Amino acid sequence: MARLSAATYTFPQMGTDLQFAVSRIASINPATGEVLGELDCAGPTEVRAAVARARVAQIEWNAWGIRSRVKILRHFQGILLTRKHEVARRITQEAGKPYVESLLTEVMVVLDAARFLIENAFSILREQKLPHGNPALKAKAGRILHEPYGVIGIISPWNYPFSIPATEVMSALVAGNAVILKPSELTPLIALELQSLLREAGVPDDVFQVLPGEGPTGAALVKSAIDKLVFTGSVATGRRIALTAAERLLPVVLELGGKDPMLVLDDADLDVASSAAVWGAFVNAGQACLSVERCYVHQKLYAPFVEACADKARKLRVGNGMDAATEIGPMISEQQVRVVESHVDDARSRGARVLAGGTRLRELGPTFFAPTVLADVDHRMRVMREETFGPVLPITSFCDDAEAVRLANDSEYGLAASVWTRDRARGESMARQIQAGTVMVNDVLSCFSISEAPHGGVKASGLGRSHGRWGLEEMVRVKYLDSDLMPRMKKVWWFGYGGEFTLEMEGFLDLLYARPLREKMKAAVRSARAVWRRKL
């Protein structure tokens, strides 16, 4: 977590002028309360200066070419692999998650994202021929070019403070952009670690810059002269950013969280599915946009399923993430704990049963919350409507597949979902009916680790995609280049219209698109004279 050591600012709306006097933020270990470091906040003047430097540096960076930038990524990958221990340790200290999760859900994800870009960036972004299907335009050579936007701003969250920004930064850089990263004020140190690693790998200083700060720093970045913005965070902030960006048609990618449903069908393996629900709801203390935040179980399995989940939740070891035995670390801040408490209290007051957890673990510290299993929840409860972002697994039942799909789609969010069944065809059929950017059959969350797969949602879960070729294509403008192969010939469709030309063009359309061969032959005769007609 972070706190301001000396700061005042007013920031009524994203679109208003900023009054900015924030001086420093402190990065604090959420498990121990230890101050890990203090940093100066970047104000509007610093943001504008950084963007200006990036714009100058980007020109030469782009001129290096994709192959040279790929070599730097390969070097970065090697450095990160060598230093995986210290990077994972830093993540755990600053974000609280168990060390092994820092390795697997952060460091490994970045290593594999680098692998994907090393293997595929050139083939995806290289100049490509574009064939023309229209016979009238065959005397042209078409090419597709992928050009960097220029300077891309990235505002990243605290829950995955290394893997989320790193995958986006690498895609932007390899495409030839300069990048300004504004990390969460709760986890700025690991962003600076990323900056250090990339610079050691060969990325020029002004091509990738990290600007620590709170909300006003991010707002200043949105209002600056960047060419595109990638934001991961809350729906409320995402909407404000979209409004500000719309004023000057700034392109944006918005990943705005989720309320991901898990559907357990009547033929699912109860032991496997319950273990998946527990891990999917409680990994990173439930602070993941892909967490299982709603669990729907067929009524035939409901009673044993909720008991299995409660039993497994009670066995989870909660503590400091640096302890190898720890499975659930602290939450990022007391503020986030209070959100979780309010959701649990609301559900309890409306009739939900608390089968495990439901309270803070104050003996461990103010940010620890017990893994909580709620049964008999419904959609009147906040825990089933709003993003909880904490270690809570709410479970309810359904009667048939149609009801399960209806319940899954009854949400403003649409990031990801999962279906659990022994029948793959049945699971995939249901997956096609669920409104989400990703649906997994018999797995949860691991989609984020699949570098080839796009990550992003529908509805209030955001716009655009990261990861894979789709995430890479978000970092470039597409340009079409067309060269005519007969430059000394006037085109048939140029001026010099008249009645005969109209008839000739009607015949030409028949020649191109009529199906009977006899009609095509007649049309060829009618339209041929257009080639030699007199043109202006």
* 536/532 Cα distance (integer angstroms): 12
Please report, as a single letter, which amino acid is at residue 534.
Answer: R
Q: At 330, which CATH number?
A: 3.40.309.10
Which residues participate in catalysis according to the annotation?
255, 289
465: in domain: no
359: in domain: yes
Mark whether 265 and 249 lie in a shared domain: no
pTM: 0.94
Mark whether 239 and 287 lie in a shared domain: no
Mark whether 112 and 173 lie in a shared domain: yes
* CA 233 to each of CA 101, 184, 251, 289, 518: distance values in angstroms, whole numbers, following the listed order: 21, 10, 17, 9, 62
Nearest to 295 by CA among 180, 222, 373: 373
Q: At 207, which CATH number?
A: 3.40.605.10
Mark whether 226 and 287 lie in a shared domain: no
pLDDT of residue 3 exceeding 80 = no
292-314: per-residue pLDDT in tens? 999 999 999 999 999 999 999 99
- 445 is in which domain, residue-wise? 260-412+416-450
pLDDT of residue 147 exceeding 70 = yes
529 pLDDT band, cuts 50/70/90, is confident
460: in domain: no
pLDDT of residue 16 exceeding 50 = no
Q: How many domains does the chain have?
A: 3
249-290: per-residue pLDDT in tens? 999 999 999 999 999 999 999 999 999 999 999 999 999 999
181-224: per-residue pLDDT in tens? 999 999 999 999 999 999 999 999 999 999 999 999 999 999 99
Mark whether 299 and 445 lie in a shared domain: yes
Residue 42: the pLDDT is 97
Residue 359: the pLDDT is 98
pLDDT of residue 142 exceeding 60 = yes
Mark whether 238 and 267 lie in a shared domain: no
Mark whether 234 and 248 lie in a shared domain: yes
Mark whether 278 and 163 lie in a shared domain: no
245 pLDDT band, cuts 50/70/90, is very high
Helices (H), 315-467: 334-349, 401-409, 424-431
One-letter-per-residue 3-state SS of 481-525: EEEECCCCCCCCCCCCCCHHHHHHHHHHHHHHHCCCHHHHHHHHH
456: in domain: no
Residue 415: the pLDDT is 98
Mark whether 206 and 338 lie in a shared domain: no
Mark whether 376 and 297 lie in a shared domain: yes
96-124: per-residue pLDDT in tens? 999 999 999 999 999 999 999 999 999 99
461: in domain: no
Mark whether 272 and 156 lie in a shared domain: no
Region 349-357 average pLDDT: 98
Q: What percent of the chain lies above the pLDDT cut of 90?
A: 89
Mark whether 265 and 250 lie in a shared domain: no
484: in domain: no
Q: Which residue has the tokens 């940010």?
A: 367
List the single range of 126-140, 163-177, 266-280, 362-376 with lowest mean pLDDT. 126-140
458: in domain: no
Residue 102: the pLDDT is 98
Backbone angles phi, psi at 431, to 5 degrees: -60, -35
Nearest to 4 by CA among 44, 36, 41: 41
106: in domain: yes
